[in-house]
Structure 1
Amino acid sequence: MNLFDTILERIDRFTERSTRTVAKTSGRRSFLARAGGMMLGGAMLPLLPFDRTFGQAMAATPTDGDALVCEYWRYCALDGNLCSACGGSITQCPPGSEASKVSWVGTCRNPNDGKDYLVAYNDCCGKPICANSPSCLRSEGERPGYRMGLHNDINWCMANASKGYHCTVAILVGLAE
């Protein structure tokens, strides 16, 4: 018997012992349970929120009070297209679209009075993405993605019947305390 046959025999014995050990410690049911869990997890993967940043850089710091530009103070945590440039307003979705059922919240400082305000950002859903509007990516105070209510890189239209993203509005909720 040569060296090559000896090595193959050892590999064969090791594989047989390992396979028998696994067969003794786990059964078909546990294998089926794990395989079913992996299949169910794989089926749920498309339901997860997805990233809308498209690799864009953060917008510049606010310098203008105009609600048609990304630097407007209310847009400090906005990620998306401005509804005010798409036929809507700062607080209302354009005709033919509806506000998302869920939103994210940011705290923005008004430079005119120096106070911090809570701002709710709602995506407007049901129409194709608004190409007439600048795409804003303002992430001041953004939290990691596992804190869903504080994260703006998600298509929040996923809760609506019509999941197509159109633009985003910024609604003042009140003073931050």
Structure 2
Amino acid sequence: MTRLDRIAEHMARKAAKSTSRRSFLAKLGFGAAAASLPLLPVRRGRAETIQGPQPQEKGNPESCDYWRYCAIDGYLCSCCGGSTSSCPPGTEPSPITWVGTCRNPADGREYVISYNDCCGKSSCGRCVCTRNERDTPIYAPSTSNDLDWCLGTQVGAVYNCSLAVVLGAAE
């Protein structure tokens, strides 16, 4: 046997003694799961209002009972110096969102709502609203409202309030 063969055999035996098949498979599975995170169905980008006719509005945007807030969790930007679709001054919307489908009582149609967290200032502290209609557990993050969505902002990961932007009619 050559010297290179002995070194390779020694390293292989040492690795076999210190690593079980289960731990190897666990590390392999963890690596595969971590590599697939960017493939999860999360809407990335700025929330933009729908083009074309806007839905009829009915209700008070500073109340938890407002139709757009069916899946919101947090402080309402409409109570914090912003609106249902714009952040208060000094904050910026998160580039990733969670989505929900809410029924508009004015026209009886379902609309897809994008919920963005506004980030950059400390929590507003007014008009807290927790509605979990059709909320999913954290392992389905695109429709979970229990996460801090302020990651990826220029102003930092400090949460201020949440928007409810109509993306379009649900088909």
Q: Report the TM range for the smaller structure's normalisation.
A: 0.5 to 0.7
2:138 counterpart letter in structure 1: G
Q: CA–CA distance in 1 between the matches of 2:15 and 2:157? A: 47
2:17 aligned to 27, 30, 34, which one? 27
1:149 aligns with 2:142: yes
Cα distance change of structure 1 residues 24 and 105 upon mapping to structure 2, 3 Å threshold: closer
Where do residues 125-140 of structure 1 align in structure 2 (5 Å cutoff)?
A: 125-131=119-125, 133-140=126-133
CA-to-aligned-CA distance 1:19-75 (integer Å, 9 cap, x gap): xxxx999413x27xx5xx6xx99xx9xxxxxxxxxxxxxxxxxxx810001110000
1:119 counterpart letter in structure 2: I
Sequence identity of aligned pairs in percent?
47
What's the CA shift for 1:101?
0.8
Q: CA–CA distance in 2 between the matches of 1:104 and 1:122? A: 7
Structure-2 residue corresponding to 1:175: 169
Higher mean alpha-carbon deviation, 108-117 vs 157-166, is at: 157-166
Cα distance change of structure 1 residues 171 and 24 upon mapping to structure 2, 3 Å threshold: closer
What's the CA shift for 1:160?
2.2
Q: CA–CA distance in 2 between the matches of 1:70 and 1:157? A: 22
Flag the structure with higher helix content: 1
Q: Which runs of 5+ in 2 are unaligned?
A: 1-12, 35-57
CA-to-aligned-CA distance 1:153-175 (integer Å, 9 cap, x gap): 11100232400000001000000
Q: CA–CA distance in 2 between the matches of 1:114 and 1:103? A: 25
2:93 aligned to 99, 123, 141, which one? 99
Calculate the aligned-residue CA RMSD, in Å: 2.6
What's the CA shift for 1:147?
0.9
Where do residues 65-84 of structure 1 align in structure 2 (5 Å cutoff)?
A: 65-84=59-78
TM-score when normalising by structure 1: 0.65
* 1:159 match: secondary structure: coil
Q: CA–CA distance in 1 between the matches of 2:98 and 2:147? A: 9
* 1:105 match: secondary structure: strand
Q: Which runs of 5+ in 1 are unaligned?
A: 1-22, 45-63
CA-to-aligned-CA distance 1:70-95 (integer Å, 9 cap, x gap): 11000000001000000011100000
1:115 aligns with 2:109: yes
**Runs of 4+ that moved beyond 3 A:** 23-26
* 1:69 match: secondary structure: coil
2:74 counterpart letter in structure 1: G
Q: CA–CA distance in 2 between the matches of 1:25 and 1:98? A: 50
Q: CA–CA distance in 2 between the matches of 1:24 and 1:126? A: 51
Q: CA–CA distance in 1 between the matches of 2:15 and 2:78? A: 63
Q: CA–CA distance in 1 between the matches of 2:111 and 2:130? A: 19
Q: Which has the larger radius of gyration?
A: 1
